[in-house]
Amino acid sequence: MRNESGNQERRISKWMVLMLSAACGLIAANLYYAQTLVGPIRDAIGLSSTAAGLIVTVTQIGYVIGLLFIVPISDIVENRRLSVAMLLIAALALLTTAFATTAPLFLLAALVIGIGSVVAQILVPLAASLASEEQRGLVVGNVMSGLLLGIMLARPAASFVADLWGWRAIFVLSAIVIALLTTLLAYALPSRKPPKAVRYGQLILSLGALWRQTPVLRRRALYQASMFGAFSLFWTVVPLHLADRFGMSQQGIAWFALVGVGGAIAAPIAGRLADRGWSKAMTWSAMVVAVLSFLAIHLFDRHSTPALVLLFVSAFTLDMAVSGNLVVGQRAIYTLGNAARGRLNGLFMAVFFTGGAIGSSVGGWSYEQGGWALASLIGTALPLMALGYYFTERRMATNNETAKGVSSVG
């Protein structure tokens, strides 16, 4: 079998997939450690309650900056060297965060953590490029499963570590882990040097053209932005809801967050089904599951044990839907070609993380304005919007450009 360059394809080893999965999880976790530690960090660095949201938001902004301006470089620069350099920067930023005593220094370091953490989105396309066509969906699913596990475990891990040694300890531990991971990747990652076809300036300017000319990218990014917006809204609001409605402590909320980890099992399953041509069915079914997950907890809003159990179930099914749809979307984008894979992935991730940031912001606002009833109603609407957009595919198939994009997805 021949790959995109015309050379004989090799199947990526299970050890390499495991390493890349673990690496993506450990790196992505850096974006979420602060989410459950906003209170103690705010008090330590002297931020007001109004400005405390910047503790998480600044890291997300850094991540989007990295997705738009660092990840595209992987299309022209050797990927291993780029990954190692950015991880070293992230490790230094984590140490700075751990010992910061003023808000400006902490927020600057948090911004750099976000920028450095985009290495995860260099490694995922790298894994896709190493995989053969028939195993690409499964490989991407497995690597994304690791990334999602890192995201989902970050919140409870930070809470447990902070409970033992204080909030600074999680950033020190992460800096050590990232430094060790950098050493491992420097020796174990295969070299991937894309053909340097364009200058960096041209590369960045090409992002707009890629967005306009790639209907699959637009659809998949907007689908996932809506889904991840619902996901972020849920995990922003549910800790407040659990504390207010059910009187849960911080430790109890941390245990609740572990439930979402199970949702990551959908990633490799979705990847395998996408390899078998089930992408369209997986897409609409993930959206339906997300809608039903939120609708159930919106309609059955009680202070009772069954209502609490339903929250646990919905956390699991919502995370399954979001992770499954993510993998199907990334597989569709990676089939568009190797030359622009870094830019395509950077655009995709930037758009859907923007959706997540909006979901978090709207979640906090809606809970303050209308409590759980309003927040869960908006959470229901977000994947419902994605589902409505999905149903326009057939109608727009008469357009040649869109028809080509849709066929690539399916």
Confidence tier at 405 by pLDDT (50, 70, 90): very low
DSSP string, 209-262: HHHHH-HHHHHHHHHHHHHHHHHHHHHHHHHHHHHHHH---HHHHHHHHHHGGG
Tally of domains in the chain: 1
Report how far residue 356's alpha carbon sits from residue 350's, in angstroms, rounded to the nearest whole number: 10
Structure tokens at 388: 């409505």
Q: pTM of this prediction? A: 0.77
Confidence tier at 56 by pLDDT (50, 70, 90): confident
Highest mean pLDDT among 83-97, 208-222, 280-294, 334-348: 83-97
| Residue 311 located in a structural domain | yes
Structure tokens at 208: 């707009």
Residue 380 has pLDDT above 90, yes or no: yes
- C-beta of residue 23 within 8 angstroms of C-beta of residue 123: yes
Instruction: Give the least confident one: 137-146, 163-172, 200-209, 260-269.
Output: 260-269
Residue 32's pLDDT is 87
Residue type, 240: L
Residue 24's pLDDT is 95
Report how far residue 187's alpha carbon sits from residue 113's, in angstroms, rounded to the nearest whole number: 23
| Per-residue pLDDT tens over the stretch 318-353 | 988 998 888 888 888 877 766 677 788 888 988 988
Residue 19 has pLDDT above 90, yes or no: yes
**Averaged pLDDT, 53-62:** 81
Q: Kindly tell me the burial class for residue 88, based on how many C-beta atoms sit within 10 Å of its own C-beta (0-12, 13-18, 19 or more).
A: middle
| Residue 199 located in a structural domain | yes
Residue 116's pLDDT is 96
**Averaged pLDDT, 165-193:** 93
Rounded to 5°, angle at Cα 314 from 322 and 388: 50
| Residue 1 located in a structural domain | no
> Which CATH number goes with the domain that contains 260?
1.20.1250.20
Report how far residue 281's alpha carbon sits from residue 284's, in angstroms, rounded to the nearest whole number: 6
Q: Report how far Cα 60 is from the mean position of its chain's Cα atoms.
A: 11
Structure tokens at 99: 């010992």
**Averaged pLDDT, 60-71:** 89
**Averaged pLDDT, 276-282:** 83
Print the domain residue range for 177.
14-409
Residue 13's pLDDT is 85
| Residue 24 located in a structural domain | yes
Q: DSSP state, 117?
A: G
Confidence tier at 75 by pLDDT (50, 70, 90): confident
| Residue 8 located in a structural domain | no
Report how far residue 309's alpha carbon sits from residue 235's, in angstroms, rounded to the nearest whole number: 16
**What element of type H or E holds 331?**
helix 305-334
HSE-CB for 188 with a 13 A CA cutoff? 15
* Extended beta strands in 63-155, E state: none
Instruction: Give the least confident one: 129-133, 177-181, 297-301, 352-356.
Output: 129-133
Distance separating the N- and C-terminal Cα atoms of the chain: 22
Q: What mean pLDDT value characterizes the chain?
A: 84
Name 138's Cβ contacts closer than 8 Å, sequence gap at least 6: 131, 268, 271, 272, 275
Instruction: Give the least confident one: 4-8, 30-34, 406-410.
Output: 406-410
Report how far residue 124's alpha carbon sits from residue 90's, in angstroms, rounded to the nearest whole number: 18
Report how far residue 177's alpha carbon sits from residue 123's, in angstroms, rounded to the nearest whole number: 17
**Averaged pLDDT, 177-185:** 97
Report how far residue 402's alpha carbon sits from residue 324's, in angstroms, rounded to the nearest whole number: 23
| Residue 3 located in a structural domain | no
Confidence tier at 196 by pLDDT (50, 70, 90): low
Highest mean pLDDT among 8-17, 215-224, 227-236, 244-253: 215-224
| Per-residue pLDDT tens over the stretch 26-39 | 999 999 898 777 77
Residue 10's pLDDT is 57
HSE-CB for 383 with a 13 A CA cutoff? 28
| Residue 6 located in a structural domain | no
Residue 304 has pLDDT above 80, yes or no: yes
CB atoms within 10 A of CB 41: 23
Confidence tier at 403 by pLDDT (50, 70, 90): very low
| Residue 4 located in a structural domain | no
